[in-house]
Amino acid sequence: MHMAKVKKKIRQQLLADRIQEQPFLTDEELARLLAVSIQTIRLDRLEMGIPELRERVRRMAENAQAKVKAISSGEVVGELIDLELGHSGISMLRITDDMVFEKTRVARGHYVFSQANSLALAVIDAPMAVTGVANIKYKVPVHVGEKLVAKAEIVRQRGNKYFVWVKTRNGDQEVFRAKFIMVSWTEK
């Protein structure tokens, strides 16, 4: 019995660590990672007071949306999940039927671009900003049902220019990357 308790404590710590590192993991993915049943994951989460995926995402999104300055939070393409104004941000976009080409079922590029571009705007700590330069690379086609997680980071700031790098992943695979120069200005 004592050994099981230790195992449980370790497992619960691993569970907390995984969720901290990757908040978008489903119970199924967590069960696979920790080699336990989905029920075990659910019981551990319940015991630890960790909400299920949808609720974790909702809470993170509410917190992030309250911080946006350069655009309205409703204009962010995808769901804004995390935002550290003037530093970094994360958004999530699920590819739906209306976002793909009918014949190939591959996502139209402008959705993937818009997710990255609107996230780059959202991280700027200024009342107004626009895209000055965009250097983009589509790495892998994205299909219907896939969940894209974009992470933006301001890597440099020179005057009113912000150099923002965005990397978009589908699971472990990078599908898109962008280097933006965002320009902020004050209203005259």
Over residues 79-112, the pLDDT tens digits come to 888 889 899 999 999 999 999 999 999 999 999 9
What is the pLDDT, as a whole number, of residue 12?
A: 92
Amino acid identity of residue 64, one-letter, is A
Residues making up the chain, counted from first to last = 188
Q: Provide the CATH topology of domain 57-184.
A: Thiol Ester Dehydrase; Chain A (3.10.129)
Sequence ranges of the domains in the chain: 2-50, 57-184
| Dihedral sign from CA coordinates of 79, 83, 89, 90 | negative
Residue pair 148/93 in contact (Cβ under 8 Å)? The answer is: yes
For the chain, which ranges sit under pLDDT 50?
Answer: none
pLDDT on residue 24: 80
**CATH 1.10.10.10 for domain 2-50:** yes
